[in-house]
Amino acid sequence: SVFMTVFNVHANWVPVAGEVQYVKHHSGRFMAANLPKSSTDNERSTIVIRTANGQDILIRQIAGAIARRIVTYVEPGETVDLNDFIGFIKFGSRVDIFLPLDTEIMVKLGDKTWGGETQVARLAK
């Protein structure tokens, strides 16, 4: 998960090239985005991108206690490239990326990440 405070940039970028398979907005609560249950209970948007290797990567934009507006710009059937603009979450929020189990994680808990610059993971081939 990447947690963003009100002082961070809340733009979200595509973490992997592929074709958008699924996009859905889920209504929900507005708990603090750093709480574990916010991933399933808060208002959120779910996006699934299928890579050229057939791996499905799930991205979840999660609203927080202050962030109550999620904007998602991609749609099913759209081809996206690494670091394309995927959307925006206004104010404090969180983005979860669900990856295959054999993925190499490139960041540690507590690392500061930079949107469109920090490589958070490397997919197995």
Is 1 a known active-site residue? no
pLDDT the model gives residue 34: 77
- Residue carrying the six token digits 């208002």: 43
Residues 6+ apart with CB under 8 A from 26: 43, 44, 45, 46
Task: List, in order of start, the domains of the chain with CATH numbers.
Answer: 2-122 (2.70.70)
Q: In whole angstroms, how far apart are CA 104 and each of 17, 29, 41, 81, 107? A: 17, 32, 28, 20, 9
Q: Which of 1, 38, 45, 93 is catalytic?
A: 93
Cα distance between residue 96 and residue 3, in whole Å: 9
Q: How many residues does the chain have?
A: 125
Q: What is the reported pLDDT for 118?
A: 87
| Ordered per-residue pLDDT tens for the chain, 125 residues | 776 666 666 788 899 999 999 999 999 888 777 788 888 888 999 999 999 999 999 999 988 877 678 899 999 999 999 999 999 887 667 778 889 999 999 999 888 888 778 888 999 88
